Amino acid sequence: MRPSLLDPLFAALTALPGIGPKLEKLYRRLFGREDTPGRIIDLLFHLPVGTIDRRSRPELRDVVPGSVATVAVTVESHRPPPANRPRLPYRIETFDDTGTLTLTYLHAKRDYLEKLFPIGELRYLSGTTALYDGALQMVHPDRVVSEQELDKLPMVEPVYPLTEGLTLNPVRKATEAALTKIPALPEWQDAAWLQRQGFPSFADALKTLHHPAEPTDILPASAAWSRLAYDELLAGQLALALVRAHQRTLPGRGSSGEGRLRARVIAALPYSLTLSQGRAVDDIVTDLARPQRMIRLLQGDVGSGKTVVALLAAATVIEAGRQAALMAPTEILVRQHLATITPLAEKAGLRVAVLTGRERGKDRTDTLERLSLGEIDLLVGTHALFQEEVAFRDLALAIVDEQHRFGVHQRLALVRKGEAVDMLVLTATPIPRTLVLTSFGDMEISELREKPAGRQPIDTRTIALDRLGEVIEGIGRALDEGRRVYWVCPLVAESETSDLAAAEERFADLKQHFGAKVDLVHGQMKGADKDRAMARFSTGETQLLVATTVIEVGVDVPEATVMVIEHAERFGLSQLHQLRGRVGRGSGHSTCLLLYRAPLGETAKARLAIMRDTEDGFRIAEEDLRLRGEGDLLGTRQSGMPGFRVARLELHGKLLAPARDDAALTLTRDPDLATPRGHALRHLLYLFERDEAIRLLRAG
């Protein structure tokens, strides 16, 4: 149960004056949480990105047109539009000792403006200035106050990120109202640490950010922002530490054998294991033999052989007479794993089956029956694996691929299918060390650094889109040579429909050039249609596959040797790297063409340069973090790991180690969070929505 003290912060946004259902929908979009109702805490964590500084008051002759200025002027006259032309602007002439200023209002109410600007009175105005016909003017001033009201004019005013339909003033007003809802919260941070860092209290930090006294108060490096960032990092580390502690208290069941099945799988491989694959297998086998539960992260670059390591882990528990499950987020990825696993499993005598939403009727019933009888050793599937009717005879190992695409509940649902189930998490997105710590805590990690033998380097080039005709000609030559080509269409927006429109347009265009050689695959196709399109490309029936980013993970066609990424500047580095990894998988020379629209911004330029310079996914991930910050790097579209609302790892990363140490020390001294500070920390976990960890405390 959430502490009742926090209820005002988790109240609906519509509890604030002036926010009805229509506006609330816009706020949801602003917060990037369109599926969940907006809450007051969301507004408080929606932090400013800039300020308007009204502290300097230039005389009119010193005002720079185009700037925001705060000026003191006397009202000289009103010039309403003529009665026969009411749509013309309403103008008010004002002056000071050095010059004149025309105020312009559109669709104005005369009586309101006459009241606001009495002739001969002094008024303080703030707004954006401009030159019009050589005269200084201000259209719709942001602020108008009399001398008596001057103290109410905020000298430094925050500027917030907005979305279409929302303007600054309503967001500021709503935030003002939200600040009054902050209750008197217990302090969860160590007093000596706060003093040493110069951090304010949680409430004061929020008030400073929304009511800055200086423009520097709202910078992410400021004491107020850093305090909230540290709170968020501590909440994350504490939650991870609680999950780990909970896992350690759960009894494990060691699975070990002589390694006969593993040896058979290795003998069936057409190549030798790489050094890091061998090390990862050794670590996993050691973990599986222990009586504690394993939770290990296996990170490997595109094509580094994670599926084979996962199969060898599964072979270990199968030899001990138990079962394994491999869960992947998409059918394409499931079929891909099957393509790698099936020939090896057949030679090693392992019984493998598949379960996705597509398996229905008798086939599905047979699979479920064989699974419960223990006649299936390894079940590979999508989220269909953790549905209620799926029952294993004795599940020992849950392998979760691209785990960021599954929620905590989904992963736990799979683990609950057996007794003391070990977990192996796979990711093809190399994750910078800082992000590993924030997302996995001190989880055991294996890294696959080398690519399997025989993989060719990929020749990566950047080409401006105005040379599209040359690119299409080059693709034509490649097709004539019998080569296979991917053409990935741009991420138009966070919308599958617009991505799809771009892909369909390019497909139609390329079809005019190359006819039946061209095919299309996208995320909104039915699974069977997608598979058929992929199969046509795999067998060479089609040679040019136009796709959205649906092919980002798990597609393996060794004969494909050319990757064209249109509008490469719109993609994140990790995604460009994932897409490029779809080629260079066979023995042929491979090329990746990054098409961009000129001129490029500095970040996009740096991103494309890194892609040209290196194929090392770990280096690319570090550069991605440095260039873009984890907010972008971790968006679901990019790599999907949980991002932060306040903390920015490129700036606040140095606070991670103290947060981790603090969490570890706290749980050593107070494992149940039962002390006064422990109770305060429970508030922190709820505030940053890490309450899953508190449920584990209660579960005991």
Residue-wise pLDDT tens digits, 182-234: 999 999 999 999 999 999 999 999 999 999 999 999 999 999 999 999 999 99
For 613-649, the pLDDT digits (tens) are 998 887 887 787 777 654 443 333 333 344 688 988 7
Residue 33 confidence (pLDDT): 80
Same domain, 364 and 334: yes
Structure tokens at 252: 């494990």
Burial 364-398 (b: 16+ CB within 10 A, else e): beebbeebeeeebbbbbbbbbbbeeebebeebbbb
Residues 32 and 143 grouped into a single domain: no
d(Cα 271, Cα 555) in Å, to the nearest integer?
20
User: Both 315 and 369 in a single domain?
Assistant: yes
150 pLDDT band, cuts 50/70/90, is confident
DSSP state of 387: S
Instruction: Provide CB contacts within 8 A for 22, sequence distance 6+.
Output: none
Question: Region 129-137: what's the mean pLDDT?
Answer: 92
The reply to whether 620 falls in a domain is: no
What is the CATH classification number for the domain harbouring 371?
Answer: 3.40.50.300
Q: Are residues 408 and 266 in the same domain?
A: yes
588 within some domain: yes
Residue 692 predicted with pLDDT over 80: no
User: Which residue(s) pair with 137 in the sheet?
Assistant: 102, 130
What pLDDT does 433 receive? 64
Closest CA to 421 of 299, 296, 262: 296
Whether 644 is covered by a domain: the verdict is: no
Phi, psi of 380 (to 5 degrees): -110, 130
CA dihedral defined by 262, 268, 272, 277, rounded to 10 degrees?
-40
Q: Does residue 410 form part of some domain? A: yes
Q: How confident is the model over 598-608, as a mean pLDDT?
A: 88
User: What single-letter amino acid sits at 218?
Assistant: I
- Residues 386, 491, single domain; the answer is no
Question: Based on the domain organization, do 170 and 189 belong to the same domain?
Answer: no
> Does residue 586 share a domain with residue 560?
yes
137: its two tokens: 């003017």
At position 160, the amino acid (one-letter code) is Y
Q: Give dist(CA 500, CA 490) in Å, integer.
A: 9
Q: How many CB atoms lie within 10 A of CB 497?
A: 9
> Over the chain, what is the mean pLDDT?
87
487 backbone dihedrals φ, ψ, rounded to 5°:
-130, 105
Cα dihedral sign, 358-361-363-369: positive
Residue 308: closest CA among 346, 347, 279, 281: 281
294-304 confidence digits (pLDDT tens): 888 898 876 78
In a domain, 542, yes or no: yes
What torsion do the CA atoms of 542, 543, 544, 550 make, to the nearest 10 degrees? 70
- 668: Cα within 13 Å, side-chain hemisphere: 6
Residues 377 and 465 in one domain: no
Domain interval for residue 33: 1-49+166-175
CATH of the domain at 128: 2.40.50.140
3-state secondary structure of 329: coil
In terms of C-beta density within 10 A (0-12 exposed, 13-18 middle, 19 or more buried), how is residue 77 classed? Answer: exposed
Residue 596 has pLDDT above 50, yes or no: yes
Q: Are residues 480 and 368 in the same domain?
A: no
Confidence (pLDDT) at 630: 47
Q: Are residues 59 and 44 in the same domain?
A: no
Residues 267 and 217 grouped into a single domain = no
Could you read off the pLDDT of 297-336 as tens digits, one per residue? 898 876 788 999 999 999 999 999 999 999 988 887 888 8
> Per the domain annotation, does 621 fall within a domain?
no
The torsion of the CA quartet 247, 253, 257, 263, rounded to 10 degrees, works out to -30
Q: CA 208 from chain center: how many Å?
A: 27
Residue 41 burial class via C-beta count within 10 angstroms: exposed 0-12, middle 13-18, buried 19 and up? buried
Judge whether 570 lies within some domain.
yes
Judge whether 224 lies within some domain.
yes
How many domains does the chain divide into?
Answer: 5
User: Considering the entire predicted model, what is its pTM?
Assistant: 0.63
**Which residue, of 448, 480, 510, is where some domain finishes?**
448
Q: Are residues 84 and 114 in the same domain?
A: yes
How far apart are the C-alpha atoms of 697 and 687, rounded to whole Å? 17
